[in-house]
A and B are shown apart, each in its own frame.
Chain A
Amino acid sequence: MPKPTVALFVTCLVDMFRPSVAFATIKLLEQAGCRVEVPAAQTCCGQPAWNSGDTKTARSIARQVIAAFEGFDHVVAPSGSCGATIAKDYAQMFEAGDPWAERARALGAKTHEITSFLSDVMGVQGVTARLEAHATYHDSCSGLRSLGVREQPRALLGTVEGLKLTEMKESEVCCGFGGTFCVKYPEISNAMVGDKTRNAADTGAELLLAGDLGCLMNMAGKASREGRPMKARHVVEVLAGMTDTPAIGEGE
């Protein structure tokens, strides 16, 4: 069987702030037997405009993404949030009868969040990584509720040698990031992320994992401000065995 060609949707936050997440994703995809390509025309999925009610702008960016990614076997993002925008929201942006609606639907059907792609599409049962650490996992909202990402990252993390995973209280409650929410309502966002870092710390874990860089930057930034000795990493960094880089927000 020929190798499936997977287009990597990098996500704007990963591109700018944490390229190691994209490299880890590529490594995992290649380990799973995929050929990976990174379409050069990508910037952002358009979610900020879509969630702000600027549908016209969101649509124009969606068209750009659809054109750049529709030729591949699969599209994979290291993010449930951006993944859900492409997989679920794009189809809603276009009126029925608009030819872009069908192209959006078709692209959506082959777009996946990375851990769900590895488990559900490629049938990956485990990884070869090793990390002596005690971790807890935060369920980022879009991945959990729009894409059904819940067991997949946990199952894969369960195969990382040396890793102990403890569930935190209210792991499925929003961390308060919410894209522009965290800057529009900083006080409420702060209360929410404060609950999150406390719940995470209460597990005794020193490593906080999640599948979305937005949530991770929010939680890492709060933990750092609170002086908590907690590191935050994207789940793919652990799965790919690429944890030699400083954690999110950690100095060199």
Chain B
Amino acid sequence: MSHAHPTTPAFKSNAHDALANANLQTALRNARGHFVDKRTAAAARVDTFEQIRDAGREMKNHTLAHLDLYLEEYEARVTAAGGHVHWAETAEDARRIVLEICRSVDAKTVNKGKTMISEECGINDHLAANGITPVETDLGEYIIQLRHEAPSHIIAPAVHVTVPEIEAAFRKAHSHLPPDRDLSDNATLQMEARRILREKYFQAEVGITGANMLIAETGQSVIVTNEGNGDLSQSLPRVHIVMASLEKLVPTLDDASTVLRLLARSATGQDMSVYTTFSSGPRRTQDPDGPEEYHVVLLDNGRSNMVGTEFQEMLRCIRCGACMNHCPVYQAVGGHAYGWVYPGPMGAVLTPSLIGVEEGGQLPNASTFCGRCESVCPMKIPLPKMMRHWREREFEKRLTPSAARYGIALWAFFARRPALYRFGTRLGMKALRRMAGGRGRLASLPLGGGWTGQRDFPAPQGKTFMDQWKEKRG
């Protein structure tokens, strides 16, 4: 699956395939409790977790209200430290800028620490098409690169893959492996990937990383990893490119610490990630190591259009993935079903913002509005409310399927006329009861195949309540 070509409108058939994929279902079941239980425990270890969430929300709201000022300050700091800030309005701009930087140093290999923005921009395909080899250094990303797949989760990119599938991918790619070598558990797989990636670290001319935050006060970019691959990807090559979207900005170092206190706890249930790296530009003359050039590609790609709209609050997202870890729809179908870079509830809001509701409209509909995502979102983003706003936009644009439109119109016609409604429900319930014939349930229902395909439909008990009440009370 290539993220350059969204399969978002095919969510339903993607979901159908996902539900029928036994390996995927095993992987999703294995991941399920893990993230949920660990987050609950991590949040409980901090007495003030709710207050930190509120502080994070307020800080981000303040930043978004003054985004222009903080972006200016950030750029000035980066420039003063000897780095370069490149403004990319679109994904295409970002691809062009990254390629130009790579060409300027005649790069053959580019190492990458995990970055969703590079997925959003399709950097890997673009580099490969221009003769430059991108190498993913995050273990999960490395696995899916070998499998020619996109990430299915924003922090656990290979959460959809089982251990036997990883073993198969490694044996295919690492053709030197003796067939009798045991690769049946996580540890041996990790050692094998590590051995290969260690060599790659010294080959790359350019390292691309994402940024969990950009700090206006200091001009620093911050990345968190558990493998240290981000550090090696950015400090060993001659050139470090940070790819970040503009809402990653926070005003101060203190604010960055607020986000760090929320991020790992919400994401993996760790108090902190293993590595938290602050980058302050290229190496200075007295520094023993570090890149000679430091570039930040600051991507907008539609985000500034969200400012001032009912979707602005989405820009508080710190990409922890808690919403998808807790979403029963994501848990059932996995991330690839969503058909673009950002899956789960946050993707259901963000994707239509970035690629249009015409393309991404399935996603905000694929929710029961159970609200679990909002209840665990560290930044308290009202995700269901914003999905509803997308449904509203769809309805206004007449993109809602006509069966649903007519259904609502018909139902509303009766709902607004209580007497007629009583008459209709009386007849309807009588008919259903007759069809059930005393069995209490219906195994099939005209026009109700969606329900009765895999569930019985409970029959009405008897006369409607309103009829019974009228008889009783007159």
Contact = CB atoms under 8 A, between A and B. Distances in A.
A221 B461 contact: no
B441 A186 contact: no
B408 A57 contact: yes
Nearest to B453: A186
A225 B455 contact: yes
Interface in B429-474: 429, 438-441, 443, 448-451, 453-466, 468-469, 473
Contact of A172 (B372, B408, B456): B372
Contacts of A40: 418, 466
A16 B385 CA distance: 29
Contacts of A38: 466, 469, 473
B11 to A, nearest CB: 9
Contacts of A190: 453-455
A251 B440 contact: yes
Contacts of A44: 411, 415
Contact of A145 (B372, B404, B453): B372
Contact of B456 (A64, A141, A249): A249
Contacts of B404: 52, 180, 184
A19 B372 contact: no
A173 B450 contact: no
A193 B381 CA distance: 27
Interface string A180-195: 1111111111111101
Contacts of A120: none
Contacts of A172: 372
A190 B408 CA distance: 23
A179 B384 CA distance: 14
Interface residues of A, number: 71
Interface residues of B, number: 68
A41 B365 contact: no
Nearest to A81: B369
Nearest to A180: B404
Interface SS of B by simple majority:
helix
A188 B16 CA distance: 8
A217 B84 CA distance: 60
A89 to B, nearest CB: 9
A224 interface: yes
A185 B15 contact: yes
B412 A188 contact: no
A201 interface: no
B116 to A, nearest CB: 24
Contacts of A42: 418
Nearest to A186: B450
Nearest to A63: B416
A19 B151 CA distance: 49
Contacts of B451: 182-183, 186, 221
16 contacts: A16-B460, A18-B460, A19-B468, A23-B465, A64-B415, A92-B385, A178-B368, A180-B404, A183-B448, A188-B15, A188-B332, A190-B453, A192-B332, A192-B368, A245-B461, A251-B438
Interface of B: 12, 15-16, 19, 328-329, 332-333, 365-372, 374-375, 385, 388, 390-396, 400, 404-405, 408-409, 411-412, 414-416, 418, 421, 425, 428-429, 438-441, 443, 448-451, 453-466, 468-469, 473
